[in-house]
Structure 1
Amino acid sequence: HKGSNGRLSEITRLYVQNGKVIANSESKIAGVPGSSLTPEFCTAQKKVFGDTDDFAKKGAWSGMSDALEAPMVLVMSLWHDHHSNMLWLDST
């Protein structure tokens, strides 16, 4: 979402299943409220988990907003793994 200043202010996630739109669930982590990515959510998440805020060091939301103004290509690959049921995603 763009804020009133035209810059990136929020990233939301919605799911569509059988034609029904399903909102992302609320965070259940104490001290990290919300159901979308916002500057406040990201800052709180780093504090709660004691992580280094590398995102802030790299420009944070302002840097992300600048990057999204440039042309981009989204590349995705979807497949079904009958042999190992994609267990590699779980590092098993």
Structure 2
Amino acid sequence: MPKKSLKIFEGHSSHVLFLCILPNDIFASGSQGEIIKIWSIENGKCLRTLIGHRGEVLDLKLFSNGQLSSCSFDKTNKFWDFTTGQCERL
């Protein structure tokens, strides 16, 4: 069995509170710093940063329609197209 290498994902400026596995070997991380980052599991690079909350990101969830949902301490719930980084609806 081949050994797997350890990857370090760096880029948030504050505590990471939640992770969410997404399709195509990527994942999302939400932080106290009000942002969400989309990462490549394969190479450890940040693919995009989702900006729109005014409070820490409290949870992330992938829905069956492919949208990433985020809720925040700012009392908003946003739905994102994580492939483009666009907020699709509040």
Q: Report if TM-score (shorter chain) is over 0.5.
A: no
- What is the TM-score with the length of structure 1 in the denominator? 0.24
Based on CA coordinates, which of the two structures has the bigger radius of gyration?
1
Higher strand residue share: 2
> Which is richer in helix?
1
